[in-house]
Amino acid sequence: MVSIFGLFATYRDAEQAIDTLVVEGVEEEAVNVIANAPAALERVGAELDSADMGKTAEEDGMSETLDSLLSSSPQVGVPETGMVVAGGKQARELVEHNTGIDKADTSLPDRLTSIGLSADEVGRYLGGVRNRGIMIWVRTSDEQVEKISRLLESNGARHIVRGGV
């Protein structure tokens, strides 16, 4: 398995990318997200306002897939990044040490390096999240790398990188 990483500047682009991936056959369980918590909560608040006005998320042009990935995630303070929310099994495992559950001495940057990103790439991605961005990665087979990369890029991903594990 390999991971394909992309950084999104907006919640809407990240939503569209995840929706496209799922429509194209990627299992939701393969998708991982680390998002800036205040930015994600603003977006969820906008969706709640839409619901109050009687609009569904679909009518308002919003997806429920990204929301479902982030919905059960607590906000976690990450020293290098600020408050984040993580969705997807691997993403949650990477940030859980900040909740006191995992007493490991490794930081989030170290953990991201352990799944195949270089230190420079980690800095770029976490800097993007700190600045209200959304980091998405998909765990996939070697055969799907090009397809996943194209789908991320066509939906606004920047800094698309292939990682190891």
Supply the DSSP symbol for 56: -
Domain that holds residue 81: 2-163
Domain count, the chain: 1
91, 30 Cβ separation under 8 angstroms: no
In the chain, the amino acid numbered 136 is I
Q: What is the pTM assigned to this prediction?
A: 0.82
Q: How does pLDDT run across 52-90, given as a tens digit for each residue?
A: 334 444 444 445 678 878 877 778 888 878 888 899 988
Q: Over 60: is that where the pLDDT of 98 sits?
A: no
The span from the CA of 157 to the CA of 165, in Å, is 20
pLDDT-based confidence at 43, cuts 50/70/90?
confident
Closest CA to 139 of 89, 69, 74, 67: 89
Query: Rounded to 5, what percent of the chain is helix, strand, coil?
Result: 50, 20, 30
- Predicted local distance difference test score (pLDDT) of residue 80: 73
